[in-house]
Every structure is written in C-alpha cells, then in structure tokens.
Amino acid sequence: MIIRVGHLYPEYLNIYADRGNIAVFLHRAASRGHELRVEPITLGTRLEPGAHDLLYVGGGQDREQTMIAPDLAARAGALREAVEAGAALLAVCGGYQLLGRGYRGRDGSWLEGAGVFPLETLAGETRMIGDVLLESTLEEAPGRSIAGFENHAGRTVLDPGCETLGRVVAGFGNDGGSGYEGCRVGRALGTYLHGPLLPRNPWLADLVLSWALAHATGAGPQPLTPLSDELEQEAHAVSSARARERGGRPVRS
C-alpha cells in the first residue's frame, strides 16, 4: 500500500530531532512492504482535503511557532475534517500546543490554534524538563509504557472528560499537576514527548501506522506484522530507567 503523509512545516518545526519520527514511519512501513510518500506542507502550500492518510507536526522554538501559527490556524477546518474522516495525526510539543484552541502568553497575548484538540495552553514561569515515563491510557494498548523527553514551559489544560495519551509515572506531563500527558481525538494524538518519540516506542509507531493504513484502505485497523525490535526495546529501557531515576523538577524559565 501507499501511505500518504503530510509533514507540516518540516523546515520550521524540527527541534529535538522530531523529524526522526518520520524516519521511523518510513522504516517500519517499508519493512512490511508499504511505501510512505511524504509531502511537505508549509507556508503557502495548500492542504488538500482527503489527500493524506497521516499528518505530522513537530515542535519548534517560540519564534518559529509564532511564525507559522497563523498559517496553521487558517487550516483548522481542513485539519479537523481530515481527523473526522479517519486520517491519523501525530503532533509533538509545539505542534501539540498549536493544534489546541490556542496559547496564552505571560503578557496575556493569545495565539490562535487550529482547535483539533479540546485544550488550551498557558505560559508558565517554570520549565518542565527531563525524561518522562507514561502508562498508556489508549484503549488499544492500556498499561503499555511510553518513554520520552519533555521540555516545555507551557501548561496544557484539557477540557473535562478528554482522552489522554497516558498517565504520568515519572516526569511532569501536560501541566505538572494533573498526572496525565497528551491528548487523543479519534486517530489524532498530541504529546509533549520528543527526543524523538517513536524510536523508543515502536508499538506506538505501529499503532499510528495501522490507523494510517486503515484510512488508506478504507478498512478497519489491522495488526501489523511484528518486527525485530531489540535495539528499540533497549532504547526504551534506558529512557524508562532515566525517567524513574530523575523524576522531575520545574526549572525557573
């Protein structure tokens, strides 16, 4: 199968090697005989309705996020339509924030978001940084562990009753207090975990790929053929151990 991927703003949103998530998708799709066709979608590029099975948004510095935010917000309708039609979506860190309703700065300024996720982010005075470990709250993989790295000052507050990505075992998560991390809407996932996320969590990469394949075929998600993931599991174990040892403590911005 051909899996059509829309990579939003790759030249602006690629902090902490978030582009590595695309490399993981490419490898794991090719290992099953599928072809991943990645199309960059950037300032001035049209997002065609129904043209992609998977959409990806990475994280960036404040300057780059502010630069692309109006363009991303203008795509709100197309993005929500894609998710409602069953396309998969993964948004990391700054992309996660900008796919909420918006970001409130310390000075009271408001940066409009795309509204894919039912949440808002508020600028905080302390920085939440370090290795993080989650217990998955996804219905497809309850209790599975997710390891990554977070570095954000924003406090992301989800609407009551929202689905999350995981329960925080070690680290900070969405806001440093709720005990949860990330957000899910349909086949769309948002998270603060990067570093990048998918090399150390291959099962999560495969879950998102299965959603993208389901969109491409028009059928329901099917389990993918298992791959040999010894190195990935080792990376996961090392990251998980660091998270448990380090815990997490806010750093003054």
CATH code assigned at 50: 3.40.50.880
Tell me the helices (H) and strands (E) count for the chain, helix number first: 6, 13
- Which token pair is 232? 């990935």
Element (H, E) at 83: helix 76-84
| pLDDT tens digits in sequence order for the chain, 253 residues long | 999 999 999 999 988 788 899 999 999 999 999 999 999 999 989 999 899 999 999 998 889 999 999 999 999 999 999 999 999 999 999 999 999 999 999 999 999 999 999 999 999 999 999 999 999 999 999 999 999 999 999 999 999 999 999 999 999 999 999 999 999 999 999 999 998 999 999 999 999 999 999 999 999 999 899 999 999 999 999 999 999 997 765 555 4
194 among known catalytic residues: yes
183 among known catalytic residues: no
Q: By residue range, what is the domain housing residue 194?
A: 2-252
Check 34, 194, 215, 236 and give the catalytic one: 194
DSSP type of residue 232:
H
Give the model's pLDDT for residue 211: 98
Check 93, 152, 183, 215 and give the catalytic one: 93
Number of domains in the chain: 1
Give the model's pLDDT for residue 246: 79
- Please choose, from the candidates 137, 191, 201, 199, the residue with its C-alpha nearest in 3D space to the C-alpha of residue 169: 137
Torsion sign across C-alpha atoms 114, 117, 119, 121: negative
DSSP-derived 3-state class of residue 149 = strand
